[in-house]
Amino acid sequence: MRKGVEDRIKKAKSEKLMVKAKSMALQLPPEGLKLHSGGFLSEVVVSYECFGKLNASKDNVILVCTPLTMDAHIAGWYSEEDKEPGWWDEMIGPNKAINTDNFFVIGSNILGGCGGTTGPSSLDPATGSPYGSHFPTITIQDIVKVQNLLIEQLGVQSLAAVIGGSLGGMQALEWSIAYPDKVKKCMCIAASTHLSPQALGFEIVGRKILLNDKNYAHGDYYDFPDRPDTGLAFARMIGLLTYLSPASMHQKFSRSKDESESTEKFETGYDVENYLDYNAKKFVNRFDANSYLHITYAMDTYNPIETYGSIEKAFEKSSSEFLLVALSSDWLFPPSESKRLCKTLLNIGKIASIIELDSPYGHDAFLLEVEYLKPVIHSFLTEELETKQDRVDKINALSTAFEDTPPEVPVLFNLLDDFKYIESLIEPKSHILDIGCGDGKLIDTLYRLRGATGYGIDINLESLVHCLFKNVPIVHGDVDDGLNLFGDQSFDYAVLNQTMQMLKKPDYVLKEMLRVAQKGIVVFPNFANINNRLAILSQGVMPISKGLPYNWWESPNIHLFTYKDFQVLCESLNIQIEQSLFITNSFLSKGFCALGFNNLGAELVIAKISRSSGY
């Protein structure tokens, strides 16, 4: 066991969040539960757990959807003797990412599973024997339908959030499709709308191996002493390989072996083989072969495109706010699939954010490496208290202070001033893209001052977490790679606030800005300012100023340019500079600007740009 896992178990035991397993026989129509395939189940029992307290309005409910082989035991301990807590215990509990002091959290075992909810190993009421081969085909739609019946019969009509990873992420997406007005926030982790052909291939091979086990008996093996353990073990081995990544495989195993281990003919004794054998045996002891077949089949066949004709049509009625979390080394659900889904959601006008977590642990990272996922989930679910009345008062006070002051005659020289000048160039209730958004303060401020809405894009994860706290939708990405998730003319304004000097391809980004937005606002320090020139002339070293507040060796700025340079670049790109504000701080700078020598006087430039007729 990894040391980090051991430490988490010790910590969890010291906190002791105790929980009881619950079970409910759902109230069904006289004909039973109608399934997506056309079949029926006359009775459905659901195993589930609850954490926290349901508020008076019953709108603080979070549903956690389980991955492929997990169960309803999502957090806490059943008894003092338990060796391990629930599978997502690090994420769920008082003051944790999914805070049970604020939310009522529900986890349930999925339909078709073997953890207490009706599945192939359950007794068929018609025969008194396990369903076995008679258990009907199930889909993700059926799984979500049962979850909806559960929450309704618990007295809950809407969900603050649905969260799931892997197969659970597919369920979360289906919730937003099937019940478009019930889910406020939908968080899909390491999943997308369908499996790739390669991932499907691994799943298909695993099922074929299991089906060809001599003890499978067409699914009616429950009364026999020998079960299809060998086939299930091999299917699990194949699955395990898809959950890892080349980097994590090398880190975990390399080519090391246990020389003392006696091996059968053709067994290598390598650590990777021992790992697969050990985990496959553990899995066989806790999981049912029929459940594995039904659930993997449901996962493989899920594809809203086939059901609705397109992803656009599938999500068109959804009112959910989406957060998609991709894992950099996940090849079962690669980041490209999450980006494709995010682009579609954005293009049909949904509020959708995307974050890519850098991890070497492959698909399993959302279970194994939760440190970076914790703040992402917490910030998505919880609004920052500082964005309440105290921040409104501060921003309103700032706005009042500038009411009679022309933007080109600044009183102060700080970030909030920049926001005020940018605000003066933006129409009320505009839709804005903040490129290199940092912690989201610009969008948040413009929302409060001008009623603007918008998105941020940034490469820094910590900054994006702060954006989510402020309810600023975000896209995690490198601006130099383009704004390809956004469609043409998706925004009224695109803002590049003190970021252009840090870009590798500023010309490309300027063109992308005016592709996705009608107008652009560019804020940049003017290196031609008289104070910079005098510093170099008198001292012979690169200046440090409020506009360029770095030593040259630690500066993120890779292009130091002037206002005239910017004019030349815009002319070469057929970009029109509609308006420029020249921000000054020193007396000398003010003097040169007053005389009309803006390239000498400006310390900071705020330019409003648009496409020229020949663009």
Same structural domain, 498 and 356: no
CATH of the domain at 79: 3.40.50.1820
Residue 206 backbone class (left: φ over 0; alpha: ψ -120 to 50; beta: rest)? alpha
SS (H, E, C) 48-71: EEEECCCCCCCCCEEEEECCCCCC
Can you give the pLDDT at residue 114?
94
Q: Are 546 and 603 in contact (CB under 8 A)?
A: yes
Cα 444 to its chain centre, rounded Å, is 20
Give strand ranges (E) for 91-224: 92-93, 98-99, 104-108, 159-165, 183-189
Same structural domain, 370 and 447: no
Residue ranges of the chain whose pLDDT lies below 50: 1-2, 12, 384-416
Same structural domain, 191 and 328: yes
Same structural domain, 342 and 448: no
Residue 611 backbone class (left: φ over 0; alpha: ψ -120 to 50; beta: rest)? beta
Same structural domain, 284 and 411: no
Same structural domain, 126 and 196: yes
**Distance in angstroms (rounded) separating the CA atoms of residues 243 and 368:** 11
φ/ψ (deg, to 5) at 536 = -70, -40
φ/ψ (deg, to 5) at 24 = -135, 130
Q: Token pair for residue 327?
A: 């894992």
CATH of the domain at 471: 3.40.50.150
**Distance in angstroms (rounded) separating the CA atoms of residues 26 and 117:** 11
Helix (H) or strand (E) holding 278: helix 271-286
Same structural domain, 441 and 470: yes
Count the alpha carbons within 13 Å of 308 in the hemisphere toward its beta carbon.
17
Q: In terms of residue numbers, what domain contains 559?
A: 386-611
Domain end call among 343, 364, 381: 381
User: Of 288, 330, 417, 439, which residue is the catalytic one?
Assistant: 330
Helix (H, G, I), strand (E, B) or coil at 136: coil
Signed CA dihedral, 302, 306, 311, 317: sign only: negative
Active site residue 363: yes
User: Of 294, 363, 378, 466, which residue is the catalytic one?
Assistant: 363
Q: Are 359 and 372 in contact (CB under 8 A)?
A: yes
Number of domains present in the structure of the chain? 2
Active site residue 166: yes
Domain end call among 345, 365, 381: 381
CB atoms within 10 A of CB 58: 14
Helix (H, G, I), strand (E, B) or coil at 36: coil
User: Of 47, 166, 248, 291, which residue is the catalytic one?
Assistant: 166
Can you give the pLDDT at residue 15?
63
